[in-house]
């Protein structure tokens, strides 16, 4: 029988871990696989770790890694994937927004030969109009700017064959835009569709500021197009200035010069000043990331690691 490992990053989720475990167990019992669950505690400051340790105590198919502090979901996920030990892995959020019921279908597709099966949302319940709109612009923007295509409305919830996991684990960049990495590796990928539910309890860890920086991370790690922006604007401004220069010369020759033009001068100076600062800012975004990568720091640090065991005979 194949081995399946569920990889779950958790951060301050004491309200939901037990519920998650129960629901997950129910679903997994209907699947024809041996399974284990690996929780990665991303530096929770509430009782999350105690809840997980208790689950482990009851069921040794539950394992966990605790990180030394909060590194962020991408890093927690990376830690989990680095320690994945099974034939096939499912990455899922703990808040049950990603329904475990999809797993049997994912496994079937895996048996059919797909290496990556990702779950795409049909509906985004419990999200504001603003979040939906910005999300949709983001996907359009990043896909128009980068060579790989990142599936729209797809979170991290997916099944990965162990060879896809190994491929991901080879990508050690510290700027971890997981959606991009998952797309970058290739392999036989397949989408399935579902309605994303509201969180069952607890609160989302995202806010607009974090989402914005997430979007910038995504774009800068998968596209150089913004860097070319300065070149394009520069070329177009230079062409326009050339034409305008001809106009000024012709005007002076024909009508003489009575020194007008203060407003137009201001406009041009301010416009170009703005563009230059923006271009510098863009270069700064890339430079900063280059600096981060260059430090070659470990992506996460582990405090405790308790690997899950395959099924014990005594727990049913
Ligand atoms: N998470 C994490 N580290 C963080 C923030 C979140 O491991 O710094 C986990 C969280 O516990 C959950 C998943 O990542 O299992 C998704 O988080 P959340 O539900 O807040 O994101 P959303 O569903 O709103 O995108
Ligand atoms: Mg969530």
DSSP string, the chain: --EEEEEEEESS-TTTHHHHHHHHHHHHHTSSSEEEEEEEE-S-SSSHHHHHHHHHHH-TTEEEEEESS---HHHHHHHHHHT--SSEEEE--TTSSS-GGGHHHHHHHHHTT-SEEEEEEEEETT--HHHHHHHHHHHHHHHHHSSS-PPTTEEEEEEEEHHHHHHHHH---SS--HHHHHHHT-SSEEEEEEEE---SSS--S--HHHHHHHHHHHHHHH--HHHHHHHHHHHHHHHHHHHHHHHHHHHHHHH------HHHHHHHHHHHHHHHHHHHHHHHHHHHHHHHHHH---S--EEEEEPPPS--SS--
Model pLDDT for residues 28-50, shown as the tens digit of each residue? 989 889 999 999 999 999 899 99
Check residue 121 and give its pLDDT: 85
Q: From the alpha carbon of 203, which atom of ligand 1 is closest?
A: 20
* 200 CA distance to ligand 2 middle (Å): 9
Residue bearing the CA closest to ligand 1, atom 22: 204
Check residue 136 and give its pLDDT: 84
Residue bearing the CA closest to ligand 1, atom 23: 204
What number of CA atoms fall less than 13 Å from residue 60's CA on the CB side?
Answer: 7
* Distance separating alpha carbons of residues 216 and 222, to the nearest angstrom: 10
pLDDT > 70? residue 312: no
Pocket of ligand 1 (CB under 6 A): 9-11, 13, 42, 70, 72-73, 76, 93-95, 97, 199, 204-206
Q: What percent of the chain has pLDDT over 70?
A: 97
Average pLDDT, the chain: 86
Q: Which residues surround ligand 2, an ion (CB under 5 A)?
A: 93, 95, 97
Q: From the alpha carbon of 9, which atom of ligand 1 is closest?
A: 7
Residue listed under structure tokens 């003489």: 256
Model pLDDT for residues 47-106, shown as the tens digit of each residue? 999 999 999 999 989 999 999 999 999 999 999 999 999 999 999 999 888 889 999 999
**C-alpha closest to that of 153 among 177, 134, 172:** 134
Check residue 202 and give its pLDDT: 73
Reported as a pLDDT band with limits 50, 70 and 90, residue 311 is low
Q: In this structure, what token pair is assigned to residue 309?
A: 């065991």
Average pLDDT of the residues in 108-126: 87
Question: Given ligand 1 and candidates 46, 78, 93, which is best to mutate, with the most ligand atoms within 8 Å of its CB?
Answer: 93
Check residue 17 and give its pLDDT: 93
What is this structure's pTM? Answer: 0.78
Q: From the alpha carbon of 8, which atom of ligand 1 is closest?
A: 15
């Amino acid at each position: 029988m194949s081995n399946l490992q569920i990889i779950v990053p958790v951060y301050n989720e004491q309200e939901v871990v037990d519920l998650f475990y129960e629901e997950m167990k129910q679903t997994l019992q209907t699947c024809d696989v041996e399974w284990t669950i690996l929780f990665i505690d991303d530096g929770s400051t509430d009782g999350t770790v105690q809840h997980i340790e208790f689950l482990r105590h009851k069921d040794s198919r539950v394992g966990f890694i605790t990180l030394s502090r909060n590194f962020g979901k991408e890093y927690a996920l990376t830690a989990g994937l680095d320690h994945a030990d099974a034939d096939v892995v499912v990455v899922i959020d703990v808040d049950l927004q990603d329904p475990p019921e999809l797993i049997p279908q994912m496994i079937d597709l895996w048996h059919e030969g797909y290496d990556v099966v990702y779950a795409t949302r049909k509906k985004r319940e419990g999200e504001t109009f603003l979040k939906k709109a910005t999300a949709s612009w983001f996907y359009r923007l990043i896909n128009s700017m980068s060579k790989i295509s990142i599936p729209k409305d797809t979170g991290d919830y997916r099944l990965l064959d162990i060879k896809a996991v190994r491929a991901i684990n080879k990508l050690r960049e510290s700027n971890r835009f997981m959606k991009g990495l998952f797309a970058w590796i290739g392999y036989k990928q397949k989408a399935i569709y579902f309605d994303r539910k509201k969180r069952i309890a607890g609160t989302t860890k995202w806010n607009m500021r974090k989402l914005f920086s997430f979007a910038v991370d995504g774009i800068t790690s998968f596209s150089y197009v913004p860097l070319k922006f300065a070149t394009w604007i520069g070329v177009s401004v230079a062409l326009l200035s050339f034409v305008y220069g001809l106009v000024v010369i012709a005007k002076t020759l024909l009508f003489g010069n009575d020194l007008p033009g203060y407003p137009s001068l201001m406009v041009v100076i301010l416009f170009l000043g703005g563009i230059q600062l923006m271009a510098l800012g863009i270069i700064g975004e890339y430079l900063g990331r280059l600096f981060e990568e260059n430090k070659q720091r470990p992506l996460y640090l582990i405090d405790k690691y308790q690997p899950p065991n395959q099924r014990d005979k005594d727990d049913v």
